Amino acid sequence: MNLIFRMLRVFTLAWLRGRLTPTETSVVSFRVLPNDLDVFMHMNNGRYPTMMDLGRLDLITRIGMSTFMFQRRWYPIVAALHLRFRRPLYLFQRYTLQSRIRYWDEKWFYIEQQFIRGEDVVAVGWIKGLIRGPEGNIPTAVVLQAVGSPMESPPPPTFVTGWQTLEQVK
């Protein structure tokens, strides 16, 4: 149940905070709650992707995409996830989740998300996703045009080019 409250909090605060461009970083603060823990008393590894969903909700809303998504019945699809754990998060620790679109091609957005406690990077996740509507997959150029930010993608990070190569292996 707490995820519903967290989602409402993230969505509401995203509307109140300033607008972002597609390449700017969204920052959302959280605290590890008792139902985030596993039997070893640190944040469960399955909770990280769920929190990443909330980070992307903030990012999508602040870019201005949520309005178009509702109007045009678009929705985000996650096709792949890579998550690297570096340090644990313990009960009641505060952390921030930084989300930013690092690269896009004609079809896919590549989003980097970092969990940060103080100065430490706790975990790093990468999402490969797209936007789909009733008519099928929406090209990234159409999405960016809809939010008023028709722009060229930054160059692909080394991680993304490696990931793309890895996915081509059959």
pLDDT tens sequence across 34-49: 999 999 999 999 999 9
Q: At residue 62, does pLDDT exceed 70?
A: yes
Across 5-30, b (16+ Cβ under 10 Å) vs e yields: ebeeebeeebeeeeebebeeebbbeb
| pLDDT value of position 121 | 98
- Locate 58 and state its tokens: 């903030």
Q: Where are the domains of the chain?
A: 2-168
| pLDDT value of position 136 | 96
| pLDDT value of position 168 | 84
* CA 114 – CA 97 distance, rounded (Å): 6
Q: 96-153: per-residue pLDDT in tens? A: 999 999 999 999 999 999 999 999 999 999 999 999 999 999 999 999 998 888 789 9
Least confident of 11-20, 24-33, 82-91: 11-20
Query: Counting beta carbons within 10 angstroms of the beta carbon of residue 35, is it exposed (0 to 12), middle (13 to 18) or buried (19 or more)?
Result: exposed
Q: What integer is the mean pLDDT of 72-89?
A: 96
* CA 116 – CA 74 distance, rounded (Å): 30
User: Which CATH architecture group holds 2-168?
Assistant: Roll (3.10)
Q: What integer is the mean pLDDT of 83-93?
A: 97
| pLDDT value of position 68 | 81
* CA 65 – CA 45 distance, rounded (Å): 29
* CA 129 – CA 5 distance, rounded (Å): 25
